Every structure is written in structure tokens, then in C-alpha cells.
Amino acid sequence: MDENHTIWIEKYRPAHLTEIVGQDEIVERLSSYVRTKNLPHLLFTGSAGVGKTTAAVTLAREFFGETWQMNFRELNASDERGIEVVRNQIKQFARTSPLGDATFKVLFLDEADALTTDAQSALRRTMETYAQTCRFILSCNYSSKIIDPIQSRCAIYRFKPLSAHAIKTEISRIATREGLSVTAGALDAIVYIAQGDMRKAINALQGAAIISPEIEEKRVYAITSNARPDEIEDLLAVSISGDFDGAESLLANLLHERGIAPNELINQCYRTLVKRKMDRSLKVQMIDLLGEADFRLSEGANSDIQMEALIARFVLATQKNP
């Protein structure tokens, strides 16, 4: 495949453990498994885009070398959640002997928290039975959804959201490779949008680069359909001042003119409110109102009505807390 037409999150996916950024402690511990040629069952947990899948694939590359694709298999548990996927696909792979000089194979089960409880119980038994020929790497967003018998059989690695420094370093490296000019403001915007997710950061960079190699802050927010932090601050400030008409006008512009999704707007308001210096009781009340609006939207309520009502509640809350 022509590398110029490959999406950048795949084109720049690390090929070795040492190339993974922002997870230094985990990389060091995983590298020790490669040095000792021994590997327990592993459980990777953390939010999206922090390196869980990359760590599993690069670990297999380092263990098996050129034969890694023959001794490594990746399955996504969210595709088939039931017990049959364990009895058929997983068990069939685990019971066969490794190829080449490998002493075991590796099965990577992504989104393992999507498996039903019965499927996890069957998986636990499979992990016990075929421990000599197969090691399991499970990946999930919420380790609490993995049953205790599986957790106790795995070494647990908790991947943290990537720091601003790690994202800026990687984005700058990619920009240099692609011949792009990225301003300091654009880098800050990518960090703000990514929220510790490297996939979001790289996709934002590629989306902006399609338009022009000169990447500025304004274009990053436009291409990702995010409001600028100052726009969110203005919306909150006008609401807190009690000016419903002014706040409603700003809200309509963000939702309908800019096309920003209501859930994303709620998320950005929350992030701004948490850091904003203001009356403590009013801040608590407004965050509570954001949570209620977010829940109503998740239940299928009309987004326009709920967002208008949210602004109205902000204004009412301000009147109660002069």
C-alpha cells in the first residue's frame, strides 16, 4: 500500500516498545519480559488512545521477531461477546502449538470488558488449561468489568492518559516527517482536543494538514468541530451574568453555525468549569446541572431543548447565588 495514502495513526504506530511515548514505566516492565523470555497473562486497562493495543502488538514483535504474525492473534470482544467466541475461536487458537522457535503464542483480546460474564468464566478456564502454549493479553477500558478470577491470573498494567508533553513531542515529530509547520497555539489546541488520546491528536493533525501544511490554532478547532476555550468561557460568563438572551445567542452559534455536538459542548463546559475560579457552591450546582443534561441526552431527549434548558438553569442558579 502507498504509504502516502495510509492514515497516520497506522503509518506512525510504534514498531518497538521503546518508541511508545508517555508510558515509560510500563514500557520498562514490558521490556523486562522480553529480556527474560518469559511472559505472564497480562491485563491492560485505560482510556482510548493511550497505547494499549500498540503495547500488545509491539510486545509480540519483540518476542517472536519475523514469526510474530504466525504466533500472535488479535480479537475484538465487542464484535462477538458471547461464550461461543471463547469456545470456538479463542480455544482453537490457544490449543495449537506455537510455530518456529517460539515456546508459546500470544492471543490479544481487545475490549475484553465487552464479554458477558459467562464468556469470561469460560475464558478463565481456557487461560488455565492452555497456559503452557498460549499467553493472553486482555485490554479494556474498565477493569472493574473483568471478573476477579481473571484479574487474579493477570499482571495488571494501568495506562494513564498521555501528558501534554508526550503529545506535543509526538505531534512535532510527525509534523517534521510530513514537512508541516505547526504553530505553538495549534499544538496547544491539539493537546486540548486530544485529552490524553494520541489517536485524536494524530487525526486532528492529519485533518488540518489536508487543507494546508501551515497549521494554525483556528484551523485545528474548525476541523475537529470543537469550540475554542475562550468561546466556552464566554458562554459560561454570560450565563453567570444572568443574560439569558446573550447566552442563548452564543449557544445557538456554537450548535447550529459551528456544528458542535451537544455532548461535546457539555464536555467542554465541564472541563472549563472545573478549572474556573468562581463561587464554590455555584460551581458545584452548575456541574450537577451539566451531569443531568448529559444523562438526559444519553436517554434520547431532544438536544436543542435540553441545551436551551441547561443555559436557563445556569441563569436561574446564578440568581439563587448572587
Per-residue confidence (pLDDT) for residue 213, from 0 to 100: 92
For residue 161, name the pLDDT band (cuts at 50, 70, 90): very high
Same structural domain for residues 92 and 140? yes
Domain that holds residue 215: 164-223
Same structural domain for residues 101 and 181? no
The residues with which 134 forms a beta bridge, in sequence order, are 105
Which CATH number characterizes residue 245's domain?
1.20.272.10
Other C-beta atoms closer than 10 Å to the C-beta of 221 total 23
For residue 1, name the pLDDT band (cuts at 50, 70, 90): very low
Per-residue confidence (pLDDT) for residue 261, from 0 to 100: 92
Same structural domain for residues 110 and 185? no
Please tell me the distance from the alpha carbon of residue 95 to that of residue 173, in angstroms, as a whole number.
42
Same structural domain for residues 178 and 250? no
For residue 99, name the pLDDT band (cuts at 50, 70, 90): confident
User: If you ran DSSP here, which 8-state letter would residue 133 be given?
Assistant: T
Same structural domain for residues 80 and 63? yes
- Locate all alpha helices (DSSP H) within the chain, ordered by sequence: 8-11, 24-36, 52-64, 83-85, 91-95, 117-129, 148-151, 164-178, 184-194, 198-211, 217-223, 229-240, 244-252, 262-275, 280-298, 303-320
Same structural domain for residues 145 and 38? yes
Which CATH number characterizes residue 194's domain?
1.10.8.60
Same structural domain for residues 242 and 125? no
Task: Show Cβ contacts of residue 246 under 8 Å, excluding neighbours closer than 6 positions.
Answer: 238
Q: Is 11 left (phi over 0), alpha (psi -120 to 50) or beta?
A: alpha
| Average pLDDT score over the chain | 90
**CA angle, 6 then 9 then 15, to 5°:** 95
For residue 308, name the pLDDT band (cuts at 50, 70, 90): very high
Residue 244 has pLDDT above 50, yes or no: yes
User: If you ran DSSP here, which 8-state letter would residue 156 be given?
Assistant: E
Same structural domain for residues 177 and 151? no
Number of domains in the chain: 3
Please tell me the pTM assigned to this model: 0.86
Residue 75 dihedral angles phi and psi, to the nearest 5°: -125, 145
Per-residue confidence (pLDDT) for residue 281, from 0 to 100: 92
- Per-residue pLDDT of 195-236, as tens digits, reads 999 999 999 999 999 999 999 999 999 999 899 999 999 999
Please tell me the distance from the alpha carbon of residue 286 to that of residue 270, in angstroms, as a whole number.
9
C-alpha cell at 213: 501544511
Same structural domain for residues 50 and 171? no
